[in-house]
């Protein structure tokens, strides 16, 4: 592994979207598909159920989630589903084979991805109330009503929007490819189906450079008005000699009432990690540096 952690060049710092960008949380095409329940869909469901890797996970996929996966296949973002990469508190992540639209000739931008990661948020996640806390106070979701399903759907769209905004700001994140209902498709960080290690697992020969990159990415996020909110060595992946920031579902704008607290916590986590790597960094100094070198209100 190279230890040079090149910084990504920001290519379009203009137009990263602002506080008032609209994020559509209305009924999606997948909901319509679900209502139609055509024969093809039932066949797809049977096929998926018979897929070896999915058998154990069946309870995760209610019919509407299956409909969303079906829509993503039909739209050419996913060709085939692979095994689970991770089962978290709110979401499961799977490896999948990208379809035509993920391989660069679709509307998802100009990057090509043979393998993709599919993150499926569970509608019945027990702590959707926590999710609500992160959504309320974010002006992008002012009109969000309280029910579980809508909260999770908004959350999924928020992660997609946050990934886009971070990417435009020059932060290395998984390329966001598509979002459908509670399912997010993004670039798979890894090689030949093996996921790239998180910073926690990776062996760091040069923590100083890694710290500088993480600090700069935190600054770039803050500069476009975002605070990650769950940043630590577990949500930074080392892939192809690059550090990639993942898991932006809970990221909030600087106008969220708790954004200051989240930034302080992110800085403390990052500082603690690099201190364990033998460096001498402090969370409060990191935060001060970020605040001094970024202008989220511009
Ligand atoms: N795009 C991706 N490519 C490869 N692995 C990923 C990707 N996204 C997530 N993962 C893996 O799945 C794990 C969980 O994903 P994450 O987005 O952090 O969800 P959670 O909210 O469950 O922490 C990560 O720690 C990482 O190992
Ligand atoms: Mg995570």
Establish whether domains 29-191 and 196-293 are of one fold.
Answer: no
Q: Does domain 196-293 have CATH number 1.10.510.10?
A: yes
The token pair at 35 is: 């209502």
298 CA distance to ligand 1 middle (Å): 32
Question: Given the CA of residue 92, which atom of ligand 1 is nearest to it?
Answer: 22
How much of the chain exceeds pLDDT 70, in percent? 79
Helices 39-49, 63-74: crossing angle, 10 deg rounding: 100
Q: From CA 44, how far away is CA 63, in angstroms rounded?
A: 11
**Domain segments of the chain: what residues?**
29-191, 196-293
Residue 58 predicted with pLDDT over 60: no
Of 120, 115, 116, 118, residue with least CA distance to 58: 120
Would you say the CB of residue 189 lies under 6 angstroms from ligand 1? yes
- Quick one: pLDDT band at residue 52, thresholds 50, 70, 90? low
Residue 204 predicted with pLDDT over 80: yes
- The pLDDT assigned to 81 comes to 87
65 CA distance to ligand 1 middle (Å): 19
Residues that place a CB less than 5 A from ion ligand 2: 235, 247
Considering all CA atoms of the chain, what is the largest pairwise distance in Å, rounded to the nearest integer?
62
- The pLDDT assigned to 62 comes to 81
Mean pLDDT over residues 217-230, rounded? Answer: 98
- Quick one: pLDDT band at residue 261, thresholds 50, 70, 90? very high
Q: From CA 194, how far away is CA 52, in angstroms rounded?
A: 18
Would you say the CB of residue 248 lies under 6 angstroms from ligand 1? no
Per residue in 170-184, pLDDT (tens digit) is 999 999 999 999 999
Question: Given the CA of residue 249, which atom of ligand 1 is nearest to it?
Answer: 21
Q: What global pTM score does this model have?
A: 0.84
Would you say the CB of residue 176 lies under 6 angstroms from ligand 1? no
- The pLDDT assigned to 11 comes to 63
- Which of 22-36, 61-75, 112-126, 230-244 has the lowest average pLDDT? 22-36
Ligand nearest to the Cα of 186, by number: 1
Phi-psi region of 74 (alpha: psi -120 to 50; beta: other; left: phi over 0): alpha
- The pLDDT assigned to 284 comes to 98
Mean pLDDT over residues 153-168, rounded? Answer: 96
Which residue in 247, 280, 284, 297 is the catalytic one?
247
Question: Is residue 280 annotated as a catalytic residue, yes or no?
Answer: no
- DSSP category for residue 198: B
- Quick one: pLDDT band at residue 140, thresholds 50, 70, 90? confident
**Nearest C-alpha to atom 17 of ligand 1 is from which residue?**
247
246 CA distance to ligand 1 middle (Å): 7
Architecture of domain 29-191: 2-Layer Sandwich (3.30)
- The pLDDT assigned to 7 comes to 81
- The pLDDT assigned to 106 comes to 46
Q: Could you tell me which residues come within 8 angstroms of residue 7 by beta carbon, excluding any fewer than 6 positions away?
A: 170, 213, 216
Of 289, 114, 106, 275, residue with least CA distance to 215: 289
Per residue in 265-285, pLDDT (tens digit) is 999 999 999 999 999 999 999
**Nearest C-alpha to atom 23 of ligand 1 is from which residue?**
88
Q: What is the full DSSP assignment across 222-235?
A: HHTTEE-SS-SGGG
Mean per-residue pLDDT of the chain = 86
The token pair at 87 is: 């089962």
- Quick one: pLDDT band at residue 13, thresholds 50, 70, 90? low
- The pLDDT assigned to 221 comes to 98
- The pLDDT assigned to 240 comes to 93
């Amino acid at each position: 592994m190279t230890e040079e952690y090149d910084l990504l060049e920001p290519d379009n710092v203009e137009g990263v979207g602002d506080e008032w960008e609209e994020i559509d949380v209305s009924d999606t095409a997948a909901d319509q598909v679900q209502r139609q329940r055509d024969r093809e869909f039932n066949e797809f469901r049977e096929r998926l159920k018979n897929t070896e890797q999915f058998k154990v996970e069946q309870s995760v996929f209610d019919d509407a989630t299956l409909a969303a996966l079906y829509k993503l296949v039909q739209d050419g973002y996913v060709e085939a589903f692979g095994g689970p990469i991770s089962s978290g508190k709110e979401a499961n992540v799977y490896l999948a084979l990208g379809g035509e639209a993920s391989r660069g000739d679709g509307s998802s931008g100009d990057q090509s991805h043979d393998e993709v990661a599919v993150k499926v948020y569970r509608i019945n996640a027990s702590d959707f109330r926590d999710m609500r806390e992160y959504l309320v106070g974010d002006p992008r979701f002012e009109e969000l009503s309280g029910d579980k399903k809508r909260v999770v759907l908004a959350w999924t769209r928020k992660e997609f929007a946050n990934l886009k905004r971070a990417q435009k700001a020059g932060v290395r994140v998984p390329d966001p490819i598509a979002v459908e209902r509670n399912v997010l498709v993004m670039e798979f960080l890894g090689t030949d189906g093996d996921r790239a290690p998180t910073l926690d697992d990776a062996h760091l020969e040069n923590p100083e450079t890694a710290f500088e990159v993480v600090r700069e990415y935190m600054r770039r996020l803050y500069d476009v008005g975002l605070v990650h909110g769950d940043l630590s060595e577990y949500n930074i992946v080392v892939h192809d000699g690059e550090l990639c920031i993942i898991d932006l579902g809970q990221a909030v704008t600087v106008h969220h009432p708790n954004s200051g607290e989240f930034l302080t916590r992110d800085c403390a986590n990052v500082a603690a990690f690099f201190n364990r790597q033998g460096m001498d960094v402090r969370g409060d100094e990191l935060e001060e540096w970020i605040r001094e070198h970024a202008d989220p209100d511009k």
